[in-house]
Amino acid sequence: MMLASLSYELHEPTKRSAAGDSTVLLLGSLGSDRSMWSEQVRALAQSFRVLAVDLRGHGGSEVIDGPSTAEELALDIVSVIDSLEIDRVHMVGLSLGGAVALEMGIRYPERLDSLALICTSAKFGEPQPWLDRATLVRKDGMEAVANSVASRWVSPGKAEASPELMARLERMVLATPAEGYASACEALATYDVRAELGSIKAPVLAIAGADDPATPPESLQEILDGIGHGRLVVLDPAAHVPTFEQSEQLSDLLQQHVLDNVGGSRW
């Protein structure tokens, strides 16, 4: 497997605390970059070390031509935390990032203190639509999908009330390299960890958006049922990327989840 060189930013805690040595690792959604976490970084870095990472082919990270897999994306993350000499992390993954977080929980459990899974799934539908989307962006560029992708990230009410935000989100999608996006679509086409969820031992918080058309609350509940533990919180209003729409509540949930599991003491 070929590793990708990933772009990231590491924030040390601004206030020293018993949890100050804990690292919260943030992984975003398909078509995003790590700026989607700006509000959460600001809140969490008051108490914890925060590592926000661009997945391969996204943001400032390396693009590797051709299909990738969620396992390869997880190996990229292991390489980053190894390079920073970080043994364990509280992993937070949203959508595609959640798929990578689940891979980490299954394949590298010794590297996790906890898992927070946001608007994600153990299987993202049937393969063909993802393969079709990969073909489309390779042919016509990100312009072919940017508007439809951004429109799923926030609830209809928020989208109508915040045209500036929608323009910003569409620019974020447009800035994603087409090959990086297509490669990630192919990773989601082959992704299915439903049979392996029971091996995850880390404490789990699942967060869903009530208005999420891609991974509704039922998708998160299916993950928890497969794992056999954890709790589900549904944010309302919120769609597929609640970092923009419910930033304060999301930050509070993540902070409490990390504090509850400092040192992975529950498992």
Q: Where are the domains of the chain?
A: 8-260
Give me 32's structure tokens. Answer: 């995003």
Cα distance between residue 167 and residue 87, in whole Å: 39
Give me 182's structure tokens. Answer: 């297509």
Question: For residue 73, is pLDDT > 50?
Answer: yes
**Tokens 């560029």 correspond to what residue?**
141
Give me 121's structure tokens. Answer: 């799934």
Question: For residue 128, is pLDDT > 70?
Answer: yes
pLDDT at 20: 63
Question: For residue 139, is pLDDT > 70?
Answer: yes
Distance of CA 64 to the CA centre of its chain: 20
Residue 46's nearest CA partner among 81, 20, 18 is 20
Type of residue at 193: V
Cα distance between residue 117 and residue 93, in whole Å: 5
CB-based burial label for 223 (10 Å; 0-12, 13-18, 19+): buried
pLDDT at 19: 65
Question: For residue 265, is pLDDT > 50?
Answer: no
Question: For residue 18, is pLDDT > 80?
Answer: no
Give me 242's structure tokens. Answer: 């609640």
Per-residue confidence at 266, pLDDT binned at 50, 70, 90? very low
Q: Fold for 8-260, please state it.
A: Rossmann fold (3.40.50)
Per-residue confidence at 96, pLDDT binned at 50, 70, 90? very high
Give me 98's structure tokens. Answer: 């959640």
Per-residue confidence at 15, pLDDT binned at 50, 70, 90? confident
pLDDT at 188: 98
Put residue 213 in one of left, alpha, beta given phi > 0 → left and psi -120 to 50 → alpha: alpha
